[in-house]
Amino acid sequence: MEPENNRSRGVIIGAIVLVLVILGLIYWASRSGTTPPENTAAVGELGDGELGTAALTVSDQFPGEIVFVSQVNLPAGGFVVVRKLTDETAGEVVGANYFDAELHAGEVPITGGTRDGERYEASLYSDNGDKRFVAGDDLPLVGPDGQPVASRFGVTTVLPERKG
């Protein structure tokens, strides 16, 4: 009777393994369709209606007088504008810098600096042609969903080490 008992155990163990594999595949499939991290925004529209691709990536930062922009892609020259978040709502402008068209990295000087534990939002704005940011004259770039092309980030004294 022992061989039949071992066979029953094998069937039960096999069924458990199969259920775990199926659950793992379901989990993996559900994770592969997730949205990009909150600090990445892409596919925007110029404020004057001219279509183009705009992208912005700003990672978490150390406290300081400058926000480092990992990636900005503008179809035409424009601005990266940084606002401090209060209760996840973008407040007053604390920094803005002009960027030429194309893909590159850069910096935005911050008035008064950033502090540990604070959160910010960087967003893209078109330029009215004078290369000076003026809210109301320079318009936010919006994505297909009608929302501004923006990247939220935090300020902390503890950042993970990145290699490569």
| Phi, psi of 142, deg, nearest 5 | -120, 150
Q: Which two tokens stand for residue 1?
A: 């009777």
| Average pLDDT for runs of 10 along the chain of length 164 | 65 65 53 40 38 82 96 92 93 95 93 95 95 93 85 90 60
Q: How far apart are CA 119 and CA 147, in angstroms?
A: 19
pLDDT of residue 41: 40
From residue 47, alpha-carbon distances to 39, 54, 157 in Å are 21, 11, 36
User: pTM above 0.85?
Assistant: no
pLDDT of residue 52: 55
pLDDT of residue 105: 93
pLDDT of residue 162: 62
From residue 56, alpha-carbon distances to 16, 75, 92, 98 in Å are 45, 12, 20, 13
pLDDT of residue 125: 96
pLDDT of residue 44: 38
Amino acid at 121: E
* Angle in degrees, CA 75, 79, 84, rounded to 5: 135
pLDDT of residue 56: 93
pLDDT of residue 102: 85
pLDDT of residue 95: 97
Q: How far apart are CA 155 and CA 153, in angstroms?
A: 7
